[in-house]
Homo-oligomer: A and B are copies of this chain.
């Protein structure tokens, strides 16, 4: 009905449109006006690597300076993930070497003591976008997309024409393999240029990544130096030794603890976050023969009895074949799943940094008067568990009349770019800091001698782009960040109040003390005391003051 009504309506709109159009086409004869056929000729597939090569800013390669940082970041993230998965305390060396007689060209070498990579996988891991082990697993890790390091290789190749060189040994017995790989952007396939065994590689297992790129080295905010320092702060179990491209001594970030972070366990999706489409795929792919078993197989928090109840609620037989349900009754099953009362998802898939380490980190970084931190209890967005942690350092030698500094972390990785795009910044700005006695202009960060630290840890951090520089504005995440900031803010507020009260108190005392002699004189005149009595009286007053101060 409505369709017809509306087509008619469109028809009338069309009529005048057409006539108008005739007029127009008379005015400007456009020989190259496209037709469905001419357009069809131009329509073709776009390879994912062509897409990202043209959109390299999506991957964090929009400027030479950023490209340098992003490359180091992706390599280090991979090393840390690999080491932690293998329960190895990470030792990482990062080198940035200027390429002789080439300006703005660097050779980056990142080496770790991780489990290494089997030869057959090296090509795909480093020479193909969207290939990896983390995308399909619900578990906190730094990498999640299978893009980062291949993207760095692609950028290097794009700007210098040079391949990536990977050297890796995955067993103390085996020899190390050295592979030169390029990425064929038209096909998004690895191109192996050279493969050989090398004798002179580090002892034990490990991987070394080398690549050459057009970049720019600078110190200061969002520099490689800062990234590695902040990484060491959020990962106290890591040792990083770093050689900058300048003639400087190697910087050693030594590990502060021999404890690896608790190992994050992989979980199954939670029914409440699952979309209809995903449910259908899960049912199609699962091994169980019966719906009831299937529900227990594919989801977390679904026990046998719960599965029974869900089937009942959905008016479906527990013994129905999952594939049939997938194609026919998925919708009612989905509704029943969303309505079902279930425990929140398990949270041992997340490894927060923890209050103590956050405080330590802040203390290491800045000299302030107040330090406070909080680790929130886990929450869920789209079925993904996440934990928010926040910390504040206030006062000390921090600049008083500047905007507060915000240090953002996601899964222990410092985020140094796109603050404006980040849910963390939004949450800080939209928190009312005046409540805690802090200045803040409308729509701006608070103005105070303050460093704010926020860590978003999740099995799947929703980043605003593939470069993983900012967290997307999911309402659940925004809310948790604000709650964490408010907790810290309240502590800060009462600290500032106390300080203010004490200051006033002090002023009053100092007045009394200042006028004690006069009081003495007054007493003497009124009570006609002798000088010694006067002094005694005055001293007693002093004592009383002292006492009250101690109280």
Question: Which residues of the other chain, B, contact A124 by a CB distance below 8 angstroms?
Answer: 43, 45
Question: Chain A 166-191, CB within 8 Å of chain B: the 1/0 string?
Answer: 00001100000000000001100000
Q: Is the CB of A18 within 8 A of B115?
A: no
A157 within 8 A of B: yes
Question: Which residues of the other chain, B, contact A518 by a CB distance below 8 angstroms?
Answer: none
Question: Which residues of the other chain, B, contact A447 by a CB distance below 8 angstroms?
Answer: 442
| Most chain B CB neighbours (cut-off 10 Å) among A36, A63, A462 | A36
A506 within 8 A of B: no
Question: Which residues of the other chain, B, contact A365 by a CB distance below 8 angstroms?
Answer: none
Question: Chain A 1-44, CB within 8 Å of chain B: the 1/0 string?
Answer: 01110110111011011101101110110101111110110111
In Å, the complex CA distance between A121 and B40 comes to 7
Question: Which residues of the other chain, B, contact A241 by a CB distance below 8 angstroms?
Answer: 9-10, 13
A320 within 8 A of B: no
A444 within 8 A of B: yes
Question: Which residues of the other chain, B, contact A34 by a CB distance below 8 angstroms?
Answer: 82, 85-86, 115
Question: Which residues of the other chain, B, contact A7 by a CB distance below 8 angstroms?
Answer: 111, 200-202
Question: Chain A 225-268, CB within 8 Å of chain B: the 1/0 string?
Answer: 00000000000000101010000001000010011100100000
With known contacts A40-B121, A157-B277, A441-B442, A51–B18 Cβ distance under 8 A: no
Q: Is the CB of A135 within 8 A of B54?
A: yes
Rounded to whole Å, the gap between the CB of A137 and the closest CB of chain B is 7
Q: Is the CB of B57 within 8 A of A87?
A: no
Q: Is the CB of A33 within 8 A of B87?
A: yes
Q: Is the CB of B113 within 8 A of A44?
A: no
Question: Which residues of the other chain, B, contact A201 by a CB distance below 8 angstroms?
Answer: 7
Q: Is the CB of A161 within 8 A of B331?
A: yes
Question: Which residues of the other chain, B, contact A9 by a CB distance below 8 angstroms?
Answer: 93, 241, 250
Q: Is the CB of A258 within 8 A of B20?
A: yes
Q: Is the CB of A239 within 8 A of B17?
A: yes
Which one of B21, B39, B90 contacts A89 once the chains associate, using CB atoms below 8 Å?
B21
With known contacts A13-B239, A124-B43, A36–B115 Cβ distance under 8 A: yes
A330 within 8 A of B: yes
Question: Which residues of the other chain, B, contact A444 by a CB distance below 8 angstroms?
Answer: 441-444
Q: Is the CB of B10 within 8 A of A204?
A: no
Q: Is the CB of A111 within 8 A of B10?
A: yes
* Closest B residue, CB atoms, query A145: B51
Question: Chain A 56-93, CB within 8 Å of chain B: the 1/0 string?
Answer: 01100011000000000000000000100111111101
In Å, the complex CA distance between A464 and B276 comes to 29
A125 within 8 A of B: yes
A426 within 8 A of B: yes
Q: Is the CB of B462 within 8 A of A55?
A: yes
Question: Which residues of the other chain, B, contact A36 by a CB distance below 8 angstroms?
Answer: 115-118, 170-171, 205
Q: Is the CB of A125 within 8 A of B28?
A: no
In Å, the complex CA distance between A209 and B3 comes to 12
A387 within 8 A of B: no
Interface stretch of the complex, out of A289-297, A371-379, A468-476, A480-488? A468-476
Q: Is the CB of A51 within 8 A of B130?
A: yes
Question: Which residues of the other chain, B, contact A205 by a CB distance below 8 angstroms?
Answer: 36
> Given A17-B88, A34-B86, A57-B472, 7 other A-B contacts at CB below 8 A?
A2-B95, A14-B113, A27-B259, A28-B263, A55-B145, A55-B462, A161-B330
The 10 closest A-B pairs by CB, nearest first: A441-B441, A421-B421, A36-B170, A158-B277, A17-B91, A42-B133, A444-B444, A34-B85, A420-B420, A33-B87
A–B Cβ pairs within 8 angstroms, 10 of them: A2-B97, A17-B113, A21-B89, A33-B263, A39-B133, A45-B124, A48-B130, A51-B145, A403-B442, A420-B425
